[in-house]
Amino acid sequence: MLHISTPLIATQECQAAAILVKYHAHGRDRHDRLVMFEMAQIQQAIKKEEEVNKYTSYWSLFTTPGNRKRMCIVLAIGVFSQWR
């Protein structure tokens, strides 16, 4: 299990577990195998996301010519889709 360092994280983890128990264990058992498996998956995904976020930033969207072109296209689509 992931180490819980703050009360907010503990509260969010309890809320997530309660939702999983409600929909996957029919509200019966917090220690159901499926609930435990999904909680572990969620915690692992959060840990991986934190690791990736250490080395990336929004600046990477503008560092290469290809990324700059993609950002121009995305911005143009956003602007032109609002145009009337």
What's the pTM value of the predicted model, to 2 decimals? 0.62
- Kindly tell me the burial class for residue 35, based on how many C-beta atoms sit within 10 Å of its own C-beta (0-12, 13-18, 19 or more): buried
Task: Tell which wins on pLDDT, 31 or 4.
Answer: 31
Q: What is the DSSP letter of 77?
A: H
Label residue 4 by pLDDT band (50, 70, 90).
low
Amino acid at 23: Y
At 23-67, the pLDDT tens digits run 988 888 888 999 999 999 999 999 999 999 898 888 988 899 999
Q: Which residues contact 67 (CB under 8 A, 6 or more apart)?
A: 60, 61
